[in-house]
Structure 1
Amino acid sequence: MNGSITTPPDQSALTPQSNVPSSNISAADKRGARARMRATRACDRCKGKKARCSGNQPCTLCDRLGLECAYKASYRRGRTPYILPSTYLPPTPDVNTAAVANAQPMLSLAPSFPDLAEPVVEAGKAAEEAALEVAEKESSISELVDVPSSYIGPASGVSFLTRAKKRLQEDATSSHTTDASTFASGDTPLPECDSSFLVLPPKHEAMLLIGTYFNVSFPTHRYLHRPTVEIWCDELYRNQMQYSFKSGDREKKAIVLMVLAQATLTSRYEDENNAARSVMFYAASEQQLTKESGETRLTSVMSRLLQCHYLASQSRINHAWSLFGTTARLAFAVGLHRKQRPRIGRVNHVEVQCRRRTFWAVYSLDRYLSAALGRPKAIHDDDIDQDLPDCLDDENILLDKLITRPPHSQSVMQASICHIKLTRILSGILKEQYPIHPLPTPSHHLITIKYTASLHSWHSDSFPFVSKSWQDIILLAAPFSRQCEVLINAYSHAVILLHRPLLLCDIKTEDDRHAVQDSANACVEAALRILGLFGDSCESGRMYGAFWK
């Protein structure tokens, strides 16, 4: 008011760093700026001319000359980078850095000019967040534009495949960072639980779960004797507070607990706690087997075989394979692979039949693990001479005698024996069609013809099970409906396993071409049969997670 002029604050403090004279910028900063402008991949024309390329499409040079800009040359410096179109210009790190750097000097003005410093700092933060948001959007777009002639958007198939790829990479990374055991590396981890807090279900519920196990969970691998398991379950409930165990008691408890664990996963009473309860039963059975003592018994093999099947149904196939090695050795130790010599005097028919059933269940799992993992088999056909189990239901097998079933009556063991015979064919396919040394196409074709005849013969013998339509299957009583599903599925996978090697063979003659085409048709037909069975099971509510993991 008196004519004096109020001096404003020093404007140099408010000057952006972009206006700072170039003489104040170090040589290292200049080199860093030049390095950031370097493209990770040049277009085909710039690469051939050894010219500097902007790295987008079309690049600056091709755009100026009006030429086609393409990135078709092979890239050998690691993962192929994504090429941004010229219309998308993601913000460079310099813009972000300048926005943050411009806000930093304002902090020094806070004591003198609080009203000025606060909005400038907030503006710098807002600029930084906006730049990061734009960069993320541009990054997501850049992941999709690498495939030509594709719509870029959330509904695009390219977008779905990109998300699936990232998800698989994340799963693979997380599986390698876990502290899983070497024997279970790559497996899905089981939920953590403390088996000391296990609470058994009411006895009537346990008996229902035992029925679910035999009718739904394992309709064809019937190596347990149901009346015996029910007796062991009754003993488990009567002797819950028992602290002294006789030889073999712990394996029996482990078997009952594993039956409950597997049946809980396939119970028709859906409960969100079923998975946790199932793992609790498994952990309790494992605790019992850690305290097992004495000689190797049949129950030692049964209990561990149950654990192998459970682990495989829980996507822990490597853990199952590791445990199966011990199980197979125990089966050899008790002589399950050999016929029993005729005994003079009293014969325990339950034990004789269970020995046969258990061995062939071990044999079948060995073949399926070998096929799934591509690893050598633990049991060789030249080392065994065990008989197949008799086609008798559990109630017809008593300790001192066998009750012959009426003629033309259907036994639940028929499907089990059919499954064993199919596994024998599968063993030959694995041995001849997948040898150590590669085979020529004609050899693969001859093996395919040989085992196609074996599969057709098996199909004819098992016609009552594998010929039924889905409408017929759902009308069957348990466990026959589940047995049909299992055998159709197993037969279809055996067909694919037999014909699959021909799909990758070299085609040199017209005969080779016909052989490959026939195998391709057989694989497609089998795959469609599996998908149809799977879809119908899901629609009718008969599909459980333990069936497909």
Structure 2
Amino acid sequence: MVQFYFDNCVVTYRCLHQATVVQWAEALLTNVETARPWHYEVGHARASIIITILAIVTLRQDKIRNNGTSDVSHMCALGDAFFCLATSLTDVETGLPTLASAQARILHVLYLLQTTRMNQAWYVFGGLVPIVSALGLHRQSSFKHRTGGPHTPRDDFILTQCRKRTFWVCYTIDKYLAVVFGRPRLYHDDDINQGFPDCINDEDMTTEGKADTEPSIDCHVDSLIAHAKLAQLIDRISREVYSVKKVPKRERLASAQRLGLELHEWNRSLPSHLGTVRIRSLIPPFRRQASALKLAYCHAIMHANRPFLLGAASLSAAQRNRVSSVVSGTKDLPDMSPLASNAPRTMTLQDSISECLGAAKVALELVDSMSPDGALFHAFWWTPYVTFCALAVVYVWEIQQQQFPGFDKQGGDHPATTNHAGLSSRDRLQGLLELAQRCQRHLSQSTSADSPSHRYSVILEELRKEAKLQGGARPVENSSTNVVHAAEEIAASAMLADGMPPGMSQDFYGGNSGVAGGTFVGGTIFDAWQTRDWMDLDSSAFGPYPDFIHGPMLPLLNDLGEPAFQPSPQI
């Protein structure tokens, strides 16, 4: 089971040392065979780590066996039993926290994320951060400790590497949870000076340092480091592009394009087995890592550029046609940066939109290719979220396209919107829409009816219908009604898929949300959308919200859609 965990369950969140975990597992097995307590001579935290690994492995094997088609609440019954036992062990920990205390809770968070208990994972993660801070994992060791003073033993090399790995795994999870939930980040780069772990595989480490016989081969830790560096860029995008302060749109666009250049540089710096080698030619562990990083890169590009989709109305018909041409010809992410073309020019709004749509297309193609492979499709807890982001980008662009003067809703095109190959804007868009609809089916079929992913699917279906209706001959002002009514219906059904209390939908879809940053020009239901509204859309599958958690009409639900508490009969 431990071997399966490291071979099939670990992708980029590699915070444990495999040989050490094997020793803990053997000690735990001995305790079971001799009828001793689980934690005997191992400790509560280490025992919890082993048992949580069993929970994760059990869940993963069930998902692969059923290809994700079964209800998650039935699939993870045995895994939940292991998980409850694991949390009971950490609950009774006493004394000062240890590195294993933090690692155990990281695994708890990952199990909850994989079982779609997103809010519970958020709360557990909130308890993990103080432990990591108390251990000082966010800081480099002191000079005396680092150099091994006369009375201070030099650190165990394996322990030092695991401290660094643990912190950067925690950091990466923090940045992605913040984006998925649309909530503030818990770690701030100004407080951190911890270095990245060394690029060395577990089997090549000793307590004294790197093994003398260390071979020069591809390293599994490369993906952890690359993902952490990407998380740093995600943090800066969220802070600068999505700032709640009053920032002119031009400054937001400049920030997005500057950070976009850094994203391209990050991609170019990847080791060959994570960046340039064809994914299908890699061994399974590296295939998962490369797929995860490619999906994360696509998300980062979309995250940086999607607010500017709503500025497409300011583009000419020829510029919109060039955007469609770039996207239709995309086999990999289009690099619109000046470095890519060796041209001394600045990026434009057209470039930003092209990159966003290109990233959405590549992400959807990757999800579509992963869908038949259950082992790969279920390897990442945030695959449904990235799929949701990409689909939202495609549908918003389609709605925008329908309103452009040169776009013929009945199938024809203005000459300016037809390329030399004779393909119209509609023809080029149709292929992307067919891909989007396939991925939307993957999203709806791979999750249970009560999961956030299903809520994503419901929201996307309303967007898809809206995009389709925009193609008909009807006034734009009526178009928002269907979306608003659908959102209210979803909220009334207690799914919380729209992420707002009843009565606020009009503000979200067509009114003044009160968020600084300025609106975009256009003729669609997104006219009044502002930059931060994209974050609201991201978090729309989650609740509760403080304005209505005590409302009489909507019960407070847990992540499985069940009542979180039963009211007293006297109330």
TM-score (normalizing by structure 2): 0.55
Q: Work out which of the residue numbers 230, 252, 255 in structure 1 matches 2:49.
A: 255
| Deviation of 1:543 (Å) | 3.8
Any stretches of 5+ residues in structure 1 without a counterpart? 1-205
Q: Work out which of the residue numbers 17, 23, 33 in structure 2 matches 1:225.
A: 17
Distance 1:356 1:382 in 2: 17
1:519 aligns with 2:361: no
How many residues get paired?
Answer: 339
Determine which structure has greater relative contact order: mean sequence separation of CA pairs < 8 Å that are 6+ residues apart, divided by chain length.
Answer: 2
1:542 aligns with 2:542: no
Once the two structures are superposed, residues 52-86 of structure 1 have per-residue CA deviations (whole angstroms, 9 ceiling, x without a partner) of: xxxxxxxxxxxxxxxxxxxxxxxxxxxxxxxxxxx
| Deviation of 1:346 (Å) | 4.1
**Counterpart in 2 of 1:40?**
none
1:338 aligns with 2:176: no
**Counterpart in 2 of 1:353?**
161
Q: Contact conserved, 1:247 with 1:293, CA < 8 A, in 2?
A: no
Once the two structures are superposed, residues 269-295 of structure 1 have per-residue CA deviations (whole angstroms, 9 ceiling, x without a partner) of: 626775222212111111111211111
| Deviation of 1:248 (Å) | 6.2
Distance 2:25 2:87 in 1: 17
Q: Contact conserved, 1:392 with 1:404, CA < 8 A, in 2?
A: no
Q: Contact conserved, 2:367 with 2:377, CA < 8 A, in 1?
A: no
**Counterpart in 2 of 1:442?**
250
Distance 1:281 1:227, change over 3 A: same
Distance 1:403 1:508, change over 3 A: same
**Which amino acid letter does the alignment assign opposite residue 291 of structure 2?**
E
Q: Work out which of the residue numbers 178, 189, 193 in structure 2 matches 1:381.
A: 189
Once the two structures are superposed, residues 17-68 of structure 1 have per-residue CA deviations (whole angstroms, 9 ceiling, x without a partner) of: xxxxxxxxxxxxxxxxxxxxxxxxxxxxxxxxxxxxxxxxxxxxxxxxxxxx
Match of 2:247, SS?
coil
Distance 1:426 1:485, change over 3 A: same
Matches within 5 A, 1:11-22: none
1:483 aligns with 2:289: yes
Distance 1:444 1:304, change over 3 A: same
Once the two structures are superposed, residues 230-283 of structure 1 have per-residue CA deviations (whole angstroms, 9 ceiling, x without a partner) of: 111111110022238568611111101111211223238626775222212111
Distance 1:244 1:538, change over 3 A: closer
| Deviation of 1:466 (Å) | 4.9
Once the two structures are superposed, residues 374-402 of structure 1 have per-residue CA deviations (whole angstroms, 9 ceiling, x without a partner) of: 11111110111101000011112222332
Q: Compare CA radii of gyration and give the structure with the larger one.
A: 1
Q: Contact conserved, 2:112 with 2:118, CA < 8 A, in 1?
A: yes
Q: Work out which of the residue numbers 212, 223, 243 in structure 1 matches 2:37.
A: 243
Match of 1:474, SS?
helix
Q: Contact conserved, 1:265 with 1:544, CA < 8 A, in 2?
A: no
Distance 1:508 1:524, change over 3 A: closer
Matches within 5 A, 1:413-452: 413-452=221-260
Distance 1:253 1:274, change over 3 A: farther
Distance 2:353 2:366 in 1: 20
**Which amino acid letter does the alignment assign opposite residue 270 of structure 1?**
R
Deviates further, 244-253 or 228-237 = 244-253
Q: Contact conserved, 2:315 with 2:350, CA < 8 A, in 1?
A: no
**Which amino acid letter does the alignment assign opposite residue 56 of structure 2?**
Q
**Which amino acid letter does the alignment assign opposite residue 355 of structure 2?**
A
Distance 1:463 1:542 in 2: 23
Once the two structures are superposed, residues 116-144 of structure 1 have per-residue CA deviations (whole angstroms, 9 ceiling, x without a partner) of: xxxxxxxxxxxxxxxxxxxxxxxxxxxxx
**Which amino acid letter does the alignment assign opposite residue 532 of structure 1?**
E
Q: Contact conserved, 2:274 with 2:293, CA < 8 A, in 1?
A: yes
Any stretches of 5+ residues in structure 2 without a counterpart? 321-346, 385-571
Matches within 5 A, 1:59-78: none
**Counterpart in 2 of 1:188?**
none
Once the two structures are superposed, residues 432-482 of structure 1 have per-residue CA deviations (whole angstroms, 9 ceiling, x without a partner) of: 11111243221122112211110111111115245447xx32332231111
Q: Contact conserved, 2:253 with 2:308, CA < 8 A, in 1?
A: yes
Distance 2:113 2:276 in 1: 28
Distance 2:260 2:377 in 1: 31
Distance 2:379 2:315 in 1: 45
Matches within 5 A, 1:16-165: none
Q: CA RMSD in A?
A: 2.7
Deviates further, 410-419 or 270-279 = 270-279
**Which amino acid letter does the alignment assign opposite residue 419 of structure 1?**
H
**Which amino acid letter does the alignment assign opposite residue 233 of structure 2?**
I
Distance 1:502 1:228 in 2: 48
Deviates further, 431-440 or 479-488 = 431-440
Distance 1:453 1:544, change over 3 A: closer
Matches within 5 A, 1:385-424: 385-403=193-211, 408-424=216-232
Matches within 5 A, 1:155-234: 206=1, 210-234=2-26
| Deviation of 1:425 (Å) | 1.3
Identity %: 30
Distance 1:280 1:259 in 2: 12
